[in-house]
Structure 1
Amino acid sequence: MTNFDFPAFLVLASVVTGAIWLIDARWLAPRRRAAAGGAPVKEPVVVEYARAFFPVIFAVLILRSFVVEPFRIPSNSMMPTLLTGDFILVNKYAYGLRLPVVNAKFVDIGEPERGDVVVFRFPLDPSTDYIKRVIGLPGDVVGYRDKTIYLNGEPVAQLPLGRYTGVGSGQVMTGAREALESLDGVEHSILTRSRAPDLPPGCRVLAFGPVKVPEGQYFVMGDNRDNSNDSRCWGFVPEENLVGKAFGIWMHWDGARDGLPIAWSRLGDGID
């Protein structure tokens, strides 16, 4: 969802502003005061800015690294659960605490469950964040045929909901079949097109039958099943690539919508 390494920027900015503030407070400021004979001395502009920005940058680093991080949905692959233009919040500690930049886990809190909507670093390009739904856990055998997921040999139940009507950037999905799917009790809507192949173009992982999810990895899919680049195409998501669990929508802005680009009704919605 983004290629800019914001965590690295925050770490670097924290180190630079903190170092400037510390060096000045520990060594340079006392020298200035001594040279002025104890009279008030104005600190350099760079020190003034460092002292002002360091607490803010460091607080954002801690919050974004260990608590919650915002993301923007750039595509239709998770429709109808998430729409293009949704701004979402991701729980960063749901699957354990990780050090920023190096992504090494130092506190183990929990593991993904079937049905979770997760953000992860794309295995083929870790600089890019993806968002999909967890379908298969380590050890599961996952198959997909006739628009139906098979978990360990059993079909995942679907309840038809009729034809979908899209808006804004999602208008292209108008007329698709919408169904309510349940993964271990997690109910969510999915979209399929009867005439589309089971696997999107270029997907080969499931071309010849079910696959077993290796230990420490996860099988993920988009809710817009015929328009999602997911585990059917490139394989599994390693545990170390997990970023967090998506849990809420705080803004929706889609310039392709008729009238106002903001969908006020989506603000504050949870993500199932």
Structure 2
Amino acid sequence: MSLGTNSKADAGSGWAETAKIVVQALAIAMVVRVFFYQPFNIPSGSMKSTLLIGDYLFVSKLSYGYSRFSFPFSPDIFSGRVFASEPKRGDVAVFRLPQDESIDYIKRVVGLPGDEIQMKSGVLYINGTAVPKVYKDEFKNIECDRYFRHCRDVVYKRYEETLPEGIKYTVLDLEQGGEFDDTDVFKVPAGHYFMMGDNRDNSSDSRATVGYVPFENFIGRAEIIFFSAAVDEPEAMRWLSPWTWPFDIRWSRFFNLVR
């Protein structure tokens, strides 16, 4: 006597197993996103040339511990931070804008609590000492309005800065004597940080509208670029010409660490 199989039962069991695997995978992905790494994309040029418009990166939430801004919808269930670890000077960090806590910003940590920060003739001063700034090369970029109606070639001077801790990174300078090249002295309050964009003449940061950023507003430290596409260039009309999409991808930026 031969044993038959119930194909309908087998099919139902297969679908149930597949659904179970999908649910488990989604649950793991949610846990990772909420507690460990959150993806962000770069919508503006304030961190050029370190980060470009169209970069997608992972931000480590473990780096600074957790505040209410670490979680979806920012539930007001506690104040301050748990498992806190303070940001280090030179970190590229994502935070909530103090003036509008629904908006995410990404900048570099320049001033720690108690520091005095000032810009003089385009040079960064920390506690009265100039941060070394050495010319490297030119950074050429095509910049357009949001509808690509007006585009122009822009050439920046690129410099390397070295913080007191020895951390090196590059900054851009578009014009000498720019609006933010000379400032008053900023005294960073306790529990706050002074943030600046690497694109020094085109960054809304602690020198102007952003002000000092409370530790509680930090979400995490930018770690690695996992995808990048040239969405800010006139050729990148990707929604109109799908066949060009592979050519818009910046393959060389994949898996670059954020420094």
* TM-score bracket, shorter-length normalisation: 0.7 to 0.9
- Would you say the 8 A contact 1:145–1:198 is kept in 2? no
Gaps of 5+ in 2: 1-8, 10-18, 146-150, 236-243
**Shift, 1:65, TM fit:** 1.7
- Equivalenced residue count is 222
| Distance change (3 Å), C-alpha of 1:59 and 1:169 | farther
- The answer for the alignment partner of 2:175 in structure 1 is 194
1:188, distance to aligned residue in structure 2 (A): 0.7
Residue 135 of structure 1 aligns with which residue?
110
Counterpart selection for 1:244 from 194, 217, 220: 220
1:234-261, Cα deviation, whole Å (9 max, x unpaired): 2111111000000110000123265611
1:166 is paired with a residue whose SS is strand
User: Match for residue 162 of structure 2?
Assistant: 182
Residue identity over aligned pairs, in percent, reads 37
> What is the TM-score when the length of structure 2 is the normalising length?
0.76
Residue 121 of structure 1 pairs with residue 96 of structure 2 = yes
Cα 1:114/1:138, change in 2 over 3 Å: same
- Shift of residue 56, structure 1, vs aligned partner: 4.5
Unaligned runs of 5+ in 1: 1-39, 41-49, 201-205
Letter in 1 for 2:75: V
* 1:232 paired to 2:195: no
Work out whether 1:59 is the aligned partner of 2:32: no
Q: Which amino acid aligns with 1:70?
A: P
TM-score by length of 1: 0.73
Aligned-pair CA distance for 1:52: 7.7
Note if contact 2:193-2:215 (Cα within 8 Å) is conserved in structure 1. yes
**1:90 & 1:145 partners in 2: Cα distance?**
32
Q: For 1:126, what is the secondary structure of its paired residue? A: strand
Q: Distance in 1 between matches of 2:186 and 2:249?
A: 41
Q: CA deviation at 1:211?
A: 1.2
CA RMSD after TM alignment: 3.0
Moved more, 168-177 or 125-134: 168-177
From 102, 114, 120, the counterpart of 2:75: 102
Q: Secondary structure at the match of 2:101?
A: coil
Distance 2:225 2:113 in 1: 29
> What secondary structure does 2:109 align onto?
strand
Distance 1:116 1:79 in 2: 15
Give CA deviations for 1:207-249 in whole Å, capped at 9, x if unaligned.
4x20110011000000000000000112111111000000110
Secondary structure of the 1:75 match is coil
C-alpha change, 1:163 and 1:65, in structure 2 (3 Å) is same
- Aligned-residue offset at 1:147: 0.9
SS in 2 for 1:64: helix
Letter in 2 for 1:155: A
Equivalence for 2:6: none
Match of 1:254 among 202, 215, 230: 230
**Larger helix proportion of the pair:** 1
Using a 3 Å threshold, how does the CA distance of structure 1 residues 265 and 102 change in structure 2: closer, same or farther? same
Q: Does 1:213 align with 2:188?
A: yes
Asked if structure 1 preserves the Cα contact closer than 8 Å seen for 2:135 and 2:158, the reply is: yes
Change in 2 beyond 3 A, CA 1:73/1:196: farther
The Cα of 1:54 is off from its aligned counterpart by 5.7
Among candidates 140, 161, 181, match of residue 165 of structure 1:
140
Distance of 1:168 and 1:193 partners within structure 2: 13
Point out the more displaced range, 166-175 or 189-198: 166-175
Task: Report deviation, 1:109.
Answer: 4.2
SS of the residue corresponding to residue 102 of structure 2 reads: coil
SS in 1 for 2:140: coil
Alignment partner, residue 92 of structure 1: 61
CA deviations over 1:180-214 (Å, ceiling 9, x no partner): 011221111100123452428xxxxx84x201100
